[in-house]
Structure 1
Amino acid sequence: MNPLLTAEQAVLGSVLLDPDQLSHLDWLAPDHFYRPVHRALFAALRKLRNDGHPASAGKSVPLSWVTDAVDEAGLHVRGLTTTYAHTLISACPRPAHAPVYGRMVLEGAIHRSITEHAIRLHQAARADALRGEVEGALHYADVLTGVLNDLAQRWGTEPRPVAPAAPPATAPVAPPQGRTDRVAQDEQFLLAILTEQPKAMDEVVGWLRPGDFADPAHGRLYRCLGPLHHRGEPVDRITLLWEAQRRGLLADGTLSGEQLTAICDGAGPASAEWLGELVMRSSVTRAAATSARAIRALAENEALAPGRLINHALHELGPLDEVRARWQPANGRPAPTPTAPVSSPNGPPSAQVHAALARSTPRPISPPAARPSSAPSPATVRPPSRSHG
């Protein structure tokens, strides 16, 4: 038995039995349902209620509430029958528990939505890496951030980055073919320019970091250039080789004197700033792909509560935000000023969020609503031995 499918059926069954339950589900949207037929039926039930269907005004629920909902939903989806509507009614143990069932549906939608947007971010990052661009990855990163903030509001939690107890397990992914060699060449060319042109470090030292290099050895070599520049010492292949030796790059096999000489011999007429931008582009797309894979791994963990999932996902976007903040000035654009999440004017009111959070709030016992004439009797809907106290 699929718990998510059961919860979706229970929500719809509760509303078919008691239309007034829709007033406790304003925070739940049709798109939160996984099955298309369930989306169409929930949208139809809400439309009938908003249009003033007689079932919304009286104490008894006429059979037309079910048949009209099926007819309305049938305009948008195929395969829905009155028989299935009564199956939904049978699947609801307690109509008064509709907010809790809706909470389960929303939880599934949160995991599913974050997974889908993480996949889109990863695809955009891979595509940008092949083209040498960053715009698509940054756009989908913004979209994912907005989705996380909206889902946090609907769930009733504060969106804030929180590190998971253990890093999400992600399988290593090879860089896109056709770009690896080109990125390595750009990095080597940049290191050669920084070594052979005395003033070249001034162009990139403010925003380029060792971690931006795809090849760890290139990043460690760039880390050797930094202290030489900071101390105001001469920078050439001899001083760089000495600094590399002092930092253990030669002893641990990261680099050899011949490799460093080969890198330095590759210098030519070029701009260090332009080459640094190429390295930064690669760094942005790698960071986006890494964040996307980590967020997807979190979202696919069904045991992770939605509030923690949202906050962990925001934390996993942090490395991308850091690289992006340095990419903006490197690209000649001002870095964006971070702002606190603002509640959307169209978001659910606090009373609705409270309803969503009310898992088992005691409610006064009211007489059961009259069921449609063709609906199963209470005895056939749920055996007494399986009832919940």
Structure 2
Amino acid sequence: MPRSHSVNETRANESHGASAGKKKSQRPSAGRKRLRVSPAAETRARAAVPTAGQVGDLAWAGQHAQAIELATTALSTPGLSVGSRLDLLDLRAESFIAQGDLERAGADADAMLDLAERARTAAFKAQARNRQALVQMRKDEFKAAVASANAALKAARQSKQVAFEAMSLFRLAEAQFRTRTDFEQAVRHAVRAAGLFRTLGRPADEGRALWVVAMGRSTQGRAEESVKAAKAALALCRQAGDLYGAGNALNMLIFNEADVVVQLKTLHQALADFEAAGYVERQGIITGNLGISYSHLGLYRRARRLMLKADAIHRRTGARAPQATNLGELAGVETAMRHLDSARTYIAEMAGMAEAVGDPLIAATVPIVQGRLSLLEGEATA
């Protein structure tokens, strides 16, 4: 077999050809011919580069570490189009979110936005802003998320691509829900998103949009509508094999379920889905909710154990709003167990986080748990 050319030999051949003054029509020398890559070889080389589809398949199966590794490999490939690079960054950011690594998810979202701005393409801007909005929501930056989602919706409509409009409406709906200022508008946007996803034949995304409808209606006290939306969301996500969406829908069903035994069964199903989907932050939320349900049964030690496990997850992932909520529940359990010093510690930490998080529900919970503690201490006027 002929040996391959070294870098120096290749340069020598190129110099020789130039100095000899060969015509363009002249056949290359044997040495130079070996350096040419056949179309078949180029095709094989391109096929060896990981695709967004392969990365997405790994993430869908809950294999986020492998998805991140594959996406990183693909992103190092020279000559990637802007669209391909955006898709890979988008997928990698989602897997970082699943792992609770919001810093790196944010870095990928920033990189997407930079690419989209330089490309000056409305569809790219919509995709990048949607990713930015989700990262901001998971970082509890809800007002910023609303602004990003609105920017995504504007760009999506300029692009005239229904898929981007649907996703932007979905992101906007969740962001508006989490600001807790206009639940009706959030529901309207979620319903519109669900309808567009249905038209596009995307049941998983339709189910996820209906999950936001369920959250909004539950918060408004419209329990029957919430349960109906959550059940529809669950059916659609199960149909599509969407474990993440199914876990969210199951979690919503417990909020209007009076039977604690049913709550526990539903939450264990949700936890299994989130574990299989590989979403750590969601596992923290379900673990905390399990603790709440056990506390309703008077099983305070078990409840505290689960809440402490949830607290560890929230601290690791930086999910401040769920952490603050969980601290309030921990304070309640410690109060019920007459561990008043521990309760005070949790209340103080929760109060310190409430203003920074900016969630009015968390802020309202602080005096409630303080009042329960004061009653036990004989200070009912506190």
Q: TM-score, normalised by structure 1?
A: 0.25
Structure number with the bigger relative contact order (C-alpha 8 A, sep ≥ 6) is 1
Instruction: Give the TM-score of the pair, scaled to structure 2.
Output: 0.25
**Where is the helix percentage greater, Structure 1 or Structure 2?**
2
